[in-house]
Structure 1
Amino acid sequence: MGILLITLLLFYVLMPMGILYTCRRWSFLDKLGPVIIAYIIGIILGNVGILPSMGNYLHEQMVNRPDLGLPEVKEMLETGTVTESEVLAFRIYKLKDILISISILLAIPLMLFSTNIRQWKEMAGKAVVSLFLGLFSIIAVVTAGYFIFRGSGLHELWKISGLLVGVYTGGTPNLAALKLILDVDSDTYILVHTYDLLVGIAYLSFVLSLGPVWFRRILPPFPSKLIPVAVTPTDKTTSFFSVLEKNSLLPLLKAVGISVLIVALGVGLGELVPKNVQMAVIVLGITSLGILASFIRSINKIENTFETGMYLILIFSMVVASMADIRNLTSISFALLGYIALAVFGSLLIHLLLSRLFKIDADTALITSVALVCSPPFVPLAAASMKNRQILISGISIGIIGYAVGNYLGFLLANVLQQF
């Protein structure tokens, strides 16, 4: 039993390194993306029958008693209510639960350390306005979608709304964090992420092809005389494997240590509040402390902290995917797919109309949408499709701000919508 748990732990922790290596080795896998591969591996692991199942009785007990612990399960074993195999399945579930919490909580500050908050004020005025218009568009459309799809049978729609605001103002790390904050079940999380990927492909296909042409017909041209501000992009092209070099490893261990300290402080804050809001306080507290730590120059300049955080996101993605029941993914939820499509393309349309009203140029408006909906890694791709290097700085800065505020906005909107 212990050997299986240790083997599974090592698999989850080390497999992302194999994923990154294969992406580096084969370009078609790199185009697919490490996160997608992690989800595929996780879904396969959790659904091929290698791992034991908990059975209906134990599963019902866990649903009705979220704080169910191993001692109580062992008592069930002694009375013959559950089997040895089901106890092992419970222990595996608890291992996954711990890995989910640790990976995402440590990833949040690591991904924020390299953020240069001071340079946000140096963004061009139009870019700042475009950022606020983009945030408003996403929140407005997601809110409208909540009322449109409220009677469609989607379970805990207010949580889904929070996830959508988080992922479309920040990115996958915000989606992962909000899963914990809002206590979203794994099946719902995987469905949202799966449909997000499908809609995201259609969205990217548009903004990289017809998008620049259409936006430039409707909005003013980009002011080419504008001189961009120097910035250090947080999404480096440096391979993750460079962190294993001695010069990179020692400073990075310091960053990980600081991240552990921040997580400990966040957990401490969570102990001071009622249990029903504990996870929200922990995650938002860690986010805030991570942003504050980025102001410390010695921490901000540590290389590869963002990449290390993304490694932890791969662990998170694989573990969450292995907890999903693939039988729940076989039938398409047209309501959920429609809600996500509305959130993406509806916010794009609203942002376009507001940009025309506020006289935002075409390139700034489009790069803002890409930075928020797709996150900073896609900004260089969009800038290249627009043949505009100057827009790169604003796009990356907007995406970073989205990372920082996504958790707050998703949590707040979800709780507001829950009241209706």
Structure 2
Amino acid sequence: MNSFISADNSWALWSILVGIAALSIFLEQNYKWASKITGAIIGLVIAMVLANLNIIPTAAPTYDVVWGYVVPLAIPLLMFNANIKKIWRESGRLMIIFILSSAGTVVGVMVSHNLLKSYIPDLYKMSAIITGSYIGGGVNFAAMSEAFGAGESWISALTVADNLLMALYFFVLLAIPTMNFFLKKFKHPHIDSVNAMVDPAEGETLAKQYWGRKEISLRDIAFSLALGLIIVWLSTEAAAILKGIIPTGNFFLDLANGLLGNKYLLITTFTMLLATFAPDFMSGIHGAQEIGTFLIYIFLVVIGVPASISVIITQAPLLLLFTGIIVAINMLVSLALGKLFKFDLEEILLASNANIGGPTTAAAMAIAKGWNKLVGPIILAGVFGYIIGNYLGIFMGNLLQYM
């Protein structure tokens, strides 16, 4: 069935995608209910509704541009401050619990894969995608989807399962800090601090406070986009060369080919090296995080588009179980290890959030809850997830292929 807006009407689709992203940000920053849900989920849900009402198509060249160009460009922009030395120095405790939570994701992927591999074809591909996504974020989902070439129908189903579960889990994470059971079992200094503070000015959400106006110049915009595009270009060229010269044939060669021949991995690596060894230059470019975050909002709108009701009914239930097992194990491991090593409840929840949803949703949760001191550290930890997500995703995909 043809949609109201045809798939080749690029101007209309770009207007809708960018418009939904802008609307989501507006709602998040101006209404407390939207701030708690987060603009990321709002945009995703709006796209799902429009697609299922047949207003916009479920596939279009415009969406391919987002996957092929917007997402790769967002990665370096979000990593301009990915100084490894700074991440380890400033994120402190959050980095440690993030790594422990990431271990929970890896364990969850292995358990879920072994339980369901007989029921879902090529589940190792989906395992690679979810490993990357549940340690990094949406950009890693896109990177691993392209790297492993999973079928479009299964990718759509996995997108539905992932997005639905992420939304549900986000609500769980928002609810846990209000439950007496968890408040009695864990320390929660940031919750106590917020409870002791006066609410922000009426009509002004915490998201609006955090994403306030910052100094930015024409030079910043030019340097952000130019450097981001150059990094993507060089990474794409280098990946194609390395993929062509590294042989395959066994696990180790396949792994080397998959790692060094993956443009997303090289984008991550090149940006990280620049941020680490030229920190003053990279951090002096203002606005990269804002531009990158906006591009990710557009991407989140796009991944909500293929989420058709029929796909949910026919294919998503198995993948919902697959992702549900992973998320459950991640949460249990995070809470157990967090309790064992005496982490605060807020640190544990944000680390798990940064794993499952990425730094964007984790920062949104910290902002929505008023845990302002944790916003910067969790973004740094989440950016570290961008770095290791692709590595671990490719490693797990190649490993589970032989299991």
Normalising by the smaller structure, the TM-score range is 0.7 to 0.9
Q: Is the 8 A contact 2:17 2:302 kept in 1?
A: yes
1:282 aligns to what?
263
Give me the identity figure in percent: 23
2:298 aligns to what?
315
Secondary structure of the 1:329 match is helix
- Larger deviation: 205-214 or 396-405? 205-214
Cα offset, 1:321, TM superposition: 3.0
2:78 aligns to what?
111
1:300 aligns to what?
283
Q: 2:384 aligns with which of 401, 405, 413?
A: 401
Counting only pairs closer than 5 Å after superposition, residues 115-134 of structure 1 correspond to structure 2 as: 115-122=82-89, 129-134=96-101
Q: 1:31 aligns with which of 18, 36, 42?
A: 36
The alpha-carbon distance between structure 1 residues 414 and 132, as it changes in their structure 2 partners (threshold 3 A), is: same
Q: Is the 8 A contact 1:372 1:398 kept in 2?
A: no
1:213 aligns to what?
183
How many residues are matched? Answer: 362
Secondary structure of the 2:117 match is coil
Cα offset, 1:389, TM superposition: 7.4
- Larger deviation: 44-53 or 15-24? 44-53
Counting only pairs closer than 5 Å after superposition, residues 176-187 of structure 1 correspond to structure 2 as: 176-184=142-150, 185=152, 186-187=155-156
Secondary structure of the 1:177 match is helix
The alpha-carbon distance between structure 1 residues 316 and 22, as it changes in their structure 2 partners (threshold 3 A), is: same
Cα offset, 1:278, TM superposition: 9.8
Q: Is the 8 A contact 2:240 2:261 kept in 1?
A: no
The alpha-carbon distance between structure 1 residues 279 and 257, as it changes in their structure 2 partners (threshold 3 A), is: same
Paired residue type of 1:206: I
Cα offset, 1:264, TM superposition: 0.7
User: What TM-score does the superposition give when structure 1 sets the normalisation length?
Assistant: 0.72
Counting only pairs closer than 5 Å after superposition, residues 41-52 of structure 1 correspond to structure 2 as: 41-50=46-55
Q: Is the 8 A contact 1:138 1:169 kept in 2?
A: yes
- Larger deviation: 44-53 or 4-13? 44-53
Paired residue type of 1:96: Y
1:195 partnered with 2:200: no
1:265 aligns to what?
234
Q: Is the 8 A contact 1:100 1:316 kept in 2?
A: yes
Distance in 2 between the 1:417 and 1:162 partners? Answer: 8
Distance in 1 between the 2:91 and 2:48 partners? Answer: 44
Secondary structure of the 2:384 match is helix
Give ranges in structure 1 of 5+ residues lacking alignment.
54-91, 223-234
User: CA offsets, 1:128-176, max 9 Å, x none?
Assistant: 554443222221122111111223x234322332233223322333333
Cα offset, 1:258, TM superposition: 0.5
Give ranges in structure 2 of 5+ residues lacking alignment.
1-5, 191-206, 245-256
Secondary structure of the 2:22 match is helix
The alpha-carbon distance between structure 1 residues 136 and 20, as it changes in their structure 2 partners (threshold 3 A), is: closer
1:417 aligns to what?
400
Distance in 1 between the 2:391 and 2:377 partners? Answer: 22
User: What TM-score does the superposition give when structure 2 sets the normalisation length?
Assistant: 0.74
Cα offset, 1:18, TM superposition: 3.7
2:124 aligns to what?
158
1:256 partnered with 2:225: yes
The alpha-carbon distance between structure 1 residues 341 and 253, as it changes in their structure 2 partners (threshold 3 A), is: same
Cα offset, 1:316, TM superposition: 2.0
Cα offset, 1:284, TM superposition: 0.8
The alpha-carbon distance between structure 1 residues 265 and 127, as it changes in their structure 2 partners (threshold 3 A), is: same
Cα offset, 1:330, TM superposition: 3.9
Q: Is the 8 A contact 1:130 1:360 kept in 2?
A: no
Cα offset, 1:249, TM superposition: 4.3
RMSD: 3.8
The alpha-carbon distance between structure 1 residues 266 and 388, as it changes in their structure 2 partners (threshold 3 A), is: closer
Secondary structure of the 1:419 match is coil
User: CA offsets, 1:45-66, max 9 Å, x none?
Assistant: 444445679xxxxxxxxxxxxx
Q: 2:67 aligns with which of 100, 121, 129?
A: 100
Cα offset, 1:413, TM superposition: 1.0
Pair member with larger Rg: 1
1:169 aligns to what?
135
Secondary structure of the 1:113 match is coil
Paired residue type of 2:219: L
Q: Is the 8 A contact 1:16 1:311 kept in 2?
A: yes
